[in-house]
């Protein structure tokens, strides 16, 4: 018995020696000991662990966890956690919280808002179920660094769910889809911008052609549970960056440039919202939703935010309801902004902070918010157009009166799409420090977008946000046009995947269109969105105001990235150079149908 035991032990020793030699353990142990002896590290076993960790297997996903959480405005949204098997142990790697984008306008009816909230709650619950069940099983044992492979699987899963939904709809009665479309069309004309038909003024001729406008395109239906796709894709990207021991923005840049590390990276210029002009307030102005500041490229982000905070404080001082509102002391009358015959009272501000993280105010005319900004800057010794620039988010789709067939820019004041173009041309000529207009028209008014591009494209960025085609359709249907514009605001919502943004920003870059990454209305405290903007090379980033934690967190992340890039000497200055809308060769099959060049050259 003793001899048999000794023989067994010898056989095990021989097998163990062969096993370790096959994995080169003795050789690597000798190399490690020889390399570390001259260094005599204080933590020898820690150094040995570090040395051998590079020979361990790559981490793989072992579990996904989805849960329902609250976003920055207390609404439900989705959180996705990723666990990986790392050196034989299950380890939590990261999590991401999705931002939720509501398509319900500010002036929607109460029953519409209630239905939207119910739909949102159902969508989040379905997304949690997808993550914890189907996606958890589907992605198990995959490497988080295989972003393209995982995104492809997520896309196929989403397509399958869409087909299942279509099959369910086909089983219903044939009249129901038509009835649903009729109700949707009715809702667009009633709930988006309700208005009563007004009698024509005496002596005014009203023609049928004047009121004929392209009908509103139907809102893209969002598949219940689609948050799970975007949340999982972003969580996988964060996990890949964590496992690779690099920042998320660099991981995204490597994915975009096929693993070629960029020598320099540009920080996107922030569009900082200072005023939210409520369109449902008693004030008359409906044309403006947000007034934003864009800092000059010469300033660092830290310097820019300091100046913007000073302007914000000065605006608060000007808007204090203490006696008479101070009159704007305006300079540069040569540009038509300050003569006594045109003094405008400053708007009255409510003591509320918008969900966008900025001051809510109501205005009676378009000049009020612009003169307020100019007065605040002048009082601080800053000149708009040199030390700071303005951008305006018009959100034109929110003030189209479908009964009148015109835009209601002020209460009771209507303009046709062609008149809107003339108005914007006068606006930019009078206030040349406005360098960006976001959604100045609906996407359906394509001819007017083209006219604006020809008239203003060399002076001002014309940006499509809600007027842009949905990301899903940009990828799947090359024949769907969006208005002629300088650039597009991309939002990471619903079924959008990291690979989608990488592909689309590459196509936009190739066509010399600028990319703006914009945060949705329902923001969370997750700051991954900032890394996405930096890694994708976005020209601008639209984060809202400098209030509310979920907004400020992202500005702080942008500051940290700037500091890191400057320390590594890889920070490249951005530029504000306008690219004229001229005819130029476009890559074939690359969104040329989606973003067509204009047919006319711009004036010099």
pLDDT 10s digits, 162-197: 999 988 888 876 655 554 554 444 444 333 333 434
pLDDT at 452 over 50: yes
- Structure tokens belonging to residue 258: 């096929």
Which tens digit of pLDDT belongs to each residue from 14-66?
999 999 999 999 999 999 999 999 999 999 999 999 999 888 999 999 999 99
Tell which wins on pLDDT, 599 or 332: 332
3-state DSSP call for residue 162? helix
Sorted by sequence, the CB contacts under 8 Å of residue 54 that are 6+ apart come out as: none
CA distance 491 to 271: 15
Range 478-496 burial, b when 16+ CB lie within 10 A, else e: eeeebbbbbbbbbbbbbbb
Mean pLDDT, rounded, for 409-422: 93
Average pLDDT of the residues in 99-118: 75
Residues 491, 449 within the same domain: yes
Q: What is the mean pLDDT of residues 286-315?
A: 94
pLDDT in tens, 203-238: 444 444 455 788 887 777 889 999 999 999 999 999
Domain match, 15 and 159 both: no
Report the alpha-carbon angle 229-231-237, nearest 5.
105
45 and 66 both lie in a single domain:
no
**Residue 310 included in any domain:** yes
**Cα angle: 181, vertex 441, 509; to 5 degrees:** 100
| 3-class DSSP assignment, residue 313 | helix
Read off the pLDDT band of 480 (50, 70, 90): very low
Distances (CA, A) of 241 to 55, 146, 235, 439, 500: 19, 11, 10, 35, 18
In a domain, 309, yes or no: yes
Q: What is the pLDDT of residue 326?
A: 42
Whether 578 is covered by a domain: the verdict is: no
Residue 467, in any domain of the structure:
yes
Write down the pTM of the prediction. 0.83
Average pLDDT over residues 582-603: 33
What amino acid positions are annotated as catalytic residues?
494
Nearest to 226 by CA among 157, 278, 290, 282: 157
pLDDT recorded at residue 109: 75
CA proximity to 370, closest of 271, 288, 458: 288
- Give me the number of domains the chain comprises: 3
Same domain, 234 and 261: no
Q: For residue 117, give the CATH number of its domain.
A: 3.30.390.10
Tokens of 603: 């004036």
Residue range 140-158: mean pLDDT, rounded: 96
Residue 482 domain-assigned (yes or no): yes
**Are residues 232 and 371 located together in one domain of the fold?**
no
Range of the domain at 435: 247-318+352-572
Share of the chain above pLDDT 70, in %: 79
Instruction: Specify whether 2 is located in the same domain as 80.
Output: no
Q: What is the CATH number of the domain that holds 283?
A: 3.20.20.120
The strand pair at 400-401 and 60-70 is best described as unpaired
Are 6 and 133 contained in the same domain?
no
Instruction: Kindly tell me if the per-residue pLDDT of 469 is higher than 80.
Output: no
């Amino acid at each position: 018995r003793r001899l048999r035991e000794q023989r067994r032990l010898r056989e095990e020793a021989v097998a163990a020696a062969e096993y370790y030699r096959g994995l080169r353990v003795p050789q690597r142990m000798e190399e490690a000991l020889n390399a570390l002896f001259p260094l005599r590290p204080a933590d020898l076993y820690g150094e040995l662990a570090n040395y051998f960790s590079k020979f361990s297997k790559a981490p793989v996903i072992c579990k996904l966890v989805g849960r329902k959480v609250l976003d920055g405005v207390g609404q439900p949204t989705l959180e996705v956690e990723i666990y990986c098997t790392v050196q034989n142990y299950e380890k939590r790697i990261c999590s991401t919280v999705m931002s939720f984008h509501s398509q319900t306008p500010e002036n929607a009816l109460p029953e519409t808002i209630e239905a939207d909230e119910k739909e949102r709650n159902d969508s989040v619950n379905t997304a949690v179920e997808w993550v914890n069940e189907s996606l958890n099983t589907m992605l198990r044992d995959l490497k988080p660094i295989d972003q393209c492979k995982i995104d492809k699987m997520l896309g196929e899963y989403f397509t399958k769910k869409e087909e299942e939904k279509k099959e369910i709809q086909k089983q219903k009665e044939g009249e129901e889809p038509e009835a649903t479309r009729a109700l949707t069309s009715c809702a667009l004309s009633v709930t988006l911008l309700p208005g009563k038909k007004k009698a024509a003024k005496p002596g005014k001729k009203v023609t049928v052609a004047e009121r004929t406008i392209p009908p509103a395109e139907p809102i893209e239906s969002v598949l219940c549970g689609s948050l799970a796709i975007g949340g999982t894709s972003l969580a996988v990207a964060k996990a890949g960056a964590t496992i690779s021991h690099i920042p998320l923005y660099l991981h995204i840049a490597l994915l975009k440039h096929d693993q070629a590390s960029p020598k320099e990276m540009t920080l996107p210029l922030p569009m900082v919202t200072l005023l939210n002009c409520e369109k449902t307030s008693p004030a008359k102005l409906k044309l403006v939703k947000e007034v934003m500041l864009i800092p000059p490229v010469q300033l660092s982000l830290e310097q820019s935010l300091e100046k913007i905070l000073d302007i914000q404080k000065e605006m608060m001082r000007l808007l204090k309801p203490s006696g008479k509102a101070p009159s704007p002391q305006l300079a540069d009358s040569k540009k038509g902004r300050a003569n006594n015959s045109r003094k405008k009272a400053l708007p009255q501000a409510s003591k509320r902070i918008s969900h966008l993280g900025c001051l809510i105010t109501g205005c009676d005319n378009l000049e009020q918010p612009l003169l307020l900004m100019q007065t605040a800057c002048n009082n601080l010794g800053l000149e708009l157009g040199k030390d700071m620039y303005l951008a305006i988010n018009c959100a034109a789709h929110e003030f189209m009166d479908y009964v009148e067939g015109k835009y209601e820019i002020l209460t009771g004041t209507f303009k046709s799409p062609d008149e809107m173009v003339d108005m914007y041309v006068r606006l930019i000529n009078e206030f040349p420090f406005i360098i960006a207009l976001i959604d100045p028209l609906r996407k359906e008014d394509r001819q007017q977008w083209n006219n604006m591009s020809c008239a203003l494209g060399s002076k001002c960025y014309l940006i499509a946000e809600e007027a842009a085609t949905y990301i899903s359709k940009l990828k799947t249907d090359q024949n769907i046009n969006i208005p002629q514009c300088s650039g597009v605001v991309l939002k990471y919502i619903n079924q959008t995947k990291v690979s989608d943004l990488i592909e689309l920003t590459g196509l936009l870059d190739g066509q010399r269109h600028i990319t703006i990454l914009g945060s949705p209305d329902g923001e969370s405290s997750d700051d991954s969105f900032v890394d996405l903007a930096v890694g994708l090379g976005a020209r601008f980033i639209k984060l809202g105001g400098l209030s509310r934690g979920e907004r400020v967190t992202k500005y702080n992340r942008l500051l940290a990235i700037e500091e890191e890039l400057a320390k590594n000497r890889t920070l490249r200055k951005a530029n504000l150079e306008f690219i004229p809308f001229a005819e130029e060769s476009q890559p074939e099959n690359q969104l040329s149908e989606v973003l067509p060049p204009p047919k006319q050259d711009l004036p010099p």
